[in-house]
Amino acid sequence: MKERLQAAFDHHKAYTNLKHNHMKYEVGDKVFLKVPTIGLVMGERWLISRILCAKFSGYLIFGTLKSGVISALGQPTINDLLNLYNSRQLGPDTKVYRVIGKHVGHSKSPILCNEAFKSAGFNGVFVPLLVDDLAKFLRTYSSTDFVRFRFILMSEVFVSNT
């Protein structure tokens, strides 16, 4: 009996391995799916997708309930999404301000600016963006939705009006 179970398991595993094609996608690739799908990206680089989900008419946002208890890398807390990034108020007209650089996680700019935006009733959000290729970043994020950024390089801060 044990051998028959092992044989069935091995057959199922071989079939599964044939059916699962692990494909790699890059920015700009077009994918057509036959079923409704919700795609999630993870990691510090893609925190922006969670924060700006409501701005771009996303269906739902995932966040963790408590700080330090995460189910995915780069996942913000529900508290940060609701209070720090004011996600309930974000919409198509929201202007996006960014702090960019290789080490943006320590920046206090989102905390300070988002609180100021809320206090003033300004429809904007300040987000951290992990950027390691500035030229590619400038080509990708050239939309009028993204109105200003701060670039952090070591301890220096530069401000641009692009």
Sorted by sequence, the CB contacts under 8 Å of residue 132 that are 6+ apart come out as 102
pLDDT digit string, tens, across residues 57-113? 887 777 888 877 777 777 888 898 899 999 889 999 999 888 887 777 777 888 999
pLDDT tens by residue, 14-58: 655 555 566 677 777 777 767 666 667 777 777 888 888 888 888
CATH, residue 67: 3.40.50.10860
State how many domains the chain has: 1
75 lies in which domain range? Answer: 2-160
Distance separating alpha carbons of residues 86 and 90, to the nearest angstrom: 7
The answer to whether the beta carbons of residues 149 and 109 sit under 8 Å apart is no
φ and ψ of 117, to 5 deg: -60, -45
Distances (CA, A) of 128 to 1, 33, 109, 120: 57, 31, 8, 21
Q: From start to end of the chain, where are the E strands?
A: 95-101, 124-130, 146-153, 156-160
